[in-house]
Amino acid sequence: MKADMKILVPLNNERDVERYAVAGADQFYFGFFDPEWTTRFTHSADINRMSAFGTRANRFSFENAKDVIRTIASLGKDSYVTFNANVYSEDQIEFLGERFYELKEAGVTGVILSDATLVSKALSAGIDAVASTMMAIYNTDILRYYVGKGFKRVIVPRECSIDDIKIMHDAFPDVEIEAFYMRNGCLYSDSNCLIDHHFGGLCTDLRRRKGYLSMSEDSAVDEERLREALKLFDEKLFSGIACGHCALYDLYHAGVRALKIVGRADRNDSVLKDIETTQRNLEVVGEAGSKAEYLSHMIKPDAYCVSGLNCYYRG
């Protein structure tokens, strides 16, 4: 029996809905582009954090997005639309509030928000509000504030450990916790990364650059070890892929109920493979009586383990 955890997957092609669902996807998330938004607020204003990647990450227009939501609903699955840009102005918040009503009419389950002022708009429209990693929910004090604002589900930052997550779950057992699980594991903190992806991500850009190390005269750090560590960080760490399979048993017992597979701009076949593996491993978790039993029966995607540094929840 499959453990009670939802597999949340990125969607950039409507034709993938059915095969992703058959493979095990329970929930879908995506963003949209909106010419009306661009006309009104210019290209400088993002609807979501992936707007900088253009239609590669946001394939759907607003009208397409509503069709996709209907398709997903017809299969009995959940849909979430991302509104997690760095900043929204008051005008933009009003604009999005109107869009929420249309999304609700199409049957959307929830919206992923980076701005707490959007919560009341979502709740007014009858849509669930999900706190994006942009909300930087690193501890129970921060979580308490956002729960008070009406969030029923939160995405915990990638750098939260399983112990951190368990403490948050125990403090707020009614809040649904979504955790990062597969694919791109950015080196930087989603919650506080304020670079502009229109110019490329630092995580990939700095890999191609030679850095100049400057050390103070009284630095106590061994220069060779420091250079080695910096090189490893820039060149090897999370080189495009990240994985949480070995931690699945612990994530389940920590209270995580939604597993986020990222990669809205990734190849569909790769995403599909990750859904299949996750589904299989959820079945193993459901049957396993212990972590050791899970680890001995789980599918281990060897390709992800090459550097030994690609684990989301290495402990």
Partner 1 sequence: MDKENALSFCDTVFPAFNTLMWEAELGKRTGINRIFVGSYFCECYFLRYEKFSFDELGKWAALKSLKVSFVIPIVREPDLEKAKDVVRRALACGFIDEVIVNDVGMLDYVSREYDVKIFLGRLFFKNTRDSRGPFPRTGDGINFYSSVYNQLLKDYAFAGIEADAAALDMDFEGMPEDMVLGLHEDLTYLTTGRMCAFAAAGLTDDRKFLPDEPCKLECVGNAVTYSLEGGIIIKAGKTCYCAARPATVHGVTRLRSITTVIGWGCDYEG
Identify which of residues 48 and 191 has a Cβ nearer to partner 1 in the complex.
191
Q: Is 216 in the site for partner 1 (CB under 8 A)?
A: yes
Q: Is 76 in the site for partner 1 (CB under 8 A)?
A: no
Q: Is 309 in the site for partner 1 (CB under 8 A)?
A: yes
Distance of CA 38 to the CA centre of its chain: 25
| 3-state secondary structure labels for all residues of 157-183 | CCCCCHHHHHHHHHHCCCCEEEEEEEC
Position among 13, 74, 117, 296 found at the interface with partner 1 (CB under 8 A): 117
- With tokens 């582009």, the residue in question is 33
Identify which of residues 67 and 205 has a Cβ nearer to partner 1 in the complex.
205
Segment near partner 1 (CB under 8 A), from 64-72, 203-211, 273-281, 288-296?
203-211
Query: Is residue 264 classed as helix, strand or coil in its secondary structure?
Result: coil
Burial of 20 (0-12, 13-18, 19+ CB in 10 A): buried
Identify which of residues 90 and 302 has a Cβ nearer to partner 1 in the complex.
90
With both helix axes pointing from N to C terminus, report the angle between 16-23 and 62-74 in degrees, rounded to the nearest 10.
Answer: 40
Identify which of residues 196 and 269 has a Cβ nearer to partner 1 in the complex.
196
131 vs 115: CA distance, rounded Å: 8
Distance of CA 29 to the CA centre of its chain: 9
Q: Which two tokens stand for residue 281?
A: 């491993």
Identify which of residues 206 and 295 has a Cβ nearer to partner 1 in the complex.
206
Distance of CA 131 to the CA centre of its chain: 11
249 vs 273: CA distance, rounded Å: 20
Position among 61, 233, 276, 293 found at the interface with partner 1 (CB under 8 A): 233
Identify which of residues 98 and 228 has a Cβ nearer to partner 1 in the complex.
228
DSSP state of 56: G
In the bound complex, what is the minimum distance in angstroms from residue 116's beta carbon to partner 1?
6
Q: Is 234 in the site for partner 1 (CB under 8 A)?
A: yes
Segment near partner 1 (CB under 8 A), from 64-72, 111-119, 123-131, 271-279?
111-119
In the bound complex, what is the minimum distance in angstroms from residue 133's beta carbon to partner 1?
11
Position among 1, 35, 173, 214 found at the interface with partner 1 (CB under 8 A): 214
The closest alpha carbon to 198, from 310, 75, 45, 21, belongs to 45
Identify which of residues 15 and 40 has a Cβ nearer to partner 1 in the complex.
40
Q: Is 1 in the site for partner 1 (CB under 8 A)?
A: no
Q: Which residues in 85-104 contact partner 1 (CB under 8 A)? A: 86-90, 93
Q: Which two tokens stand for residue 39?
A: 């006309």
275 vs 295: CA distance, rounded Å: 18
Q: Which residues in 170-199 contact partner 1 (CB under 8 A)? A: 186-189, 191-196, 198-199
